[in-house]
Amino acid sequence: MSGGEEREGHGMIDPVPDPHTEPVPGPGADPVPGPEAEPEDAFRPGLDDLEAQLLGEPRSMRRRQVSAGAGISLLSARRFWHALGFPNVQDEDMVFTDADLAALRAVVTLVRDGTFDQDTALAMTRAMGRTADRLAIWQAQLMAEVLEHEPPEPVERRPGEPSRGVPGSAAARAAGEKLTELADTLEPLLVYAWRRHLSAAIARMVADAEPSADHEGVFRVVGFADLVSFTALVRRLSEHQLVQVVQRFEALASEVIAAHGGRVIKTVGDEVLYVTIGTPPAAAIALDLVDAIKEDDILPKVRVGMASGQVVSRLGDVFGTTVNRASRLTAVARPNTVVVDDAVATALSSVSGFEMAQLPPRTLRGLGRITPWRLQRAGASGRRGRSDSGSATTT
């Protein structure tokens, strides 16, 4: 929502109408006629019907109508639109629907009744916008891949050979039609998943806030799992094959991590970052992940680094020295092995099912000199605890 005369006002609680505002059509009103009613970014023929089905109605309002209908300045309305993740629009663009107006009014009401201040309202909107954007792209690509016809046995790509990384036109349109058809079925599942995760997030937050004799602040065990030689793999495989590898890795890692009560913080192609509250679950995740990938015919070898300690938890992500230490330890690990810091090794020393072998001290960039340990399952003898033999290897 940009361009034209705007007034700063008082943000989202600014009730000043714009002097050039057009009247706001009521629900169900006909779109404003005229050649300018078609926005510059209108869908191509055949897709506008899908948009109308998803949005519930055709686009019928310009930006000034929406801002006036919500009783706020154009600048404030633009901030809301940007927080959702959408670009600027011009005065003449017929972009908005009654649903956009209702959403803006809902956010304005939260600010005006004192539930949120403006910054918090925009931050909440931004969180939903980013999450919805990633979810929509993820689902659209998945559906297109399901519908895309692929050769039964794709050949490896030679260096320099081009590769198509997007679905064909027919598959893309078919995916759009199918997702539009399923939208009403998927929408309740989205709300269900959000409420489930919100409940779990509140429980973790309350637990972290409770005083602890053992730890201060937010304590987590952090694990990094990294596919070995992924860069070489990227050069060698077709994009379709790389998609298969990444999806297989993410699906397998997510399943193993969730099974032991961990949380996937993020995935970046060949790497997954996860956290747990307890040390034994984190160790079980690492070892199960290595074992599962060993048995997989598609995935290359994996290596895992783990560290425990205080983390900074912010907006679903984690930061801090503990996270950096786990990342650095991943580089120390050899293929199909797990390397942990001294805190993890100490915590597991009295837990059955695990054993640790001390490795030579290493100097890690930005962290100084530390003693890494190789984690493995207890042998047939059932021996547990730490072996302080500096001659241990990670083969």
Integer Cα distance of 103 and 105 in angstroms: 5
Whether 198 and 229 map to the same domain: the answer is no
For residue 185, the Cα-to-chain-centroid distance in whole angstroms is 22
- Which range of 26-30, 142-146, 354-358 scores highest in mean pLDDT? It is 354-358
Q: Which residues of 187-226 are buried (b: 16+ CB within 10 A; e: fewer)?
A: eeeeeeeeeeeeeeeeeeeeeeeeeeeeeeebbbbbbbbb
| Pair 245, 156 in one domain | no
* Residue pLDDT, tens place only, 238-271: 777 788 888 889 999 999 999 999 999 998 888 9
Q: Let me know whether 97 and 130 are in one domain.
A: yes
Which has more pLDDT, 245 or 154?
245
Share of the chain above pLDDT 70, in %: 78
pLDDT the model gives residue 142: 87
Q: Examine the fold and report which residue of 181, 210, 239 is the final residue of a domain before the chain moves on.
A: 210
259 in the same domain as 308: yes
Total residues belonging to the chain: 395
Contact 367, 336 (CB under 8 A): no
Question: Could you give the CA distance from residue 115 to residue 110 in angstroms, rounded to a whole number?
Answer: 5
Clarify whether residues 99 and 170 are in a common domain.
Answer: yes
Which DSSP category does 303 fall into? E
pLDDT tens sequence across 328-348:
999 889 999 999 999 999 999
Pick from 13-17, 31-35, 313-317 the range whose average pLDDT is largest: 313-317
Residue 100 has pLDDT above 90, yes or no: yes
- For residue 199, is it within any domain? yes
Contact (Cβ atoms closer than 8 angstroms) between residue 52 and residue 62? no
Strands (E), the chain: 219-227, 263-268, 271-276, 302-310, 312-314, 317-319, 338-340, 354-358, 362-364, 368-370, 373-377, 385-387
Overall domain count for the chain: 2
34 domain-assigned: no
DSSP string, 246-298: HHHHHHHHHHHHHHTT-EEEEEETTEEEEEESSHHHHHHHHHHHHHHHHT-SS
pLDDT of residue 98: 93
Mark whether 101 and 165 lie in a shared domain.
yes
155 lies in which domain range? 1-26+40-210
- pLDDT tens digits for range 114-152: 999 999 999 999 999 999 998 999 899 889 888 875 543
Mean pLDDT throughout 8-34?
45
- How far apart are alpha carbons 268 and 320 in whole angstroms? 18
CATH number, domain containing residue 375: 3.30.70.1230
Coarse DSSP helix, strand, coil percentages of the chain, rounded to the nearest 5 percent: 45, 15, 40
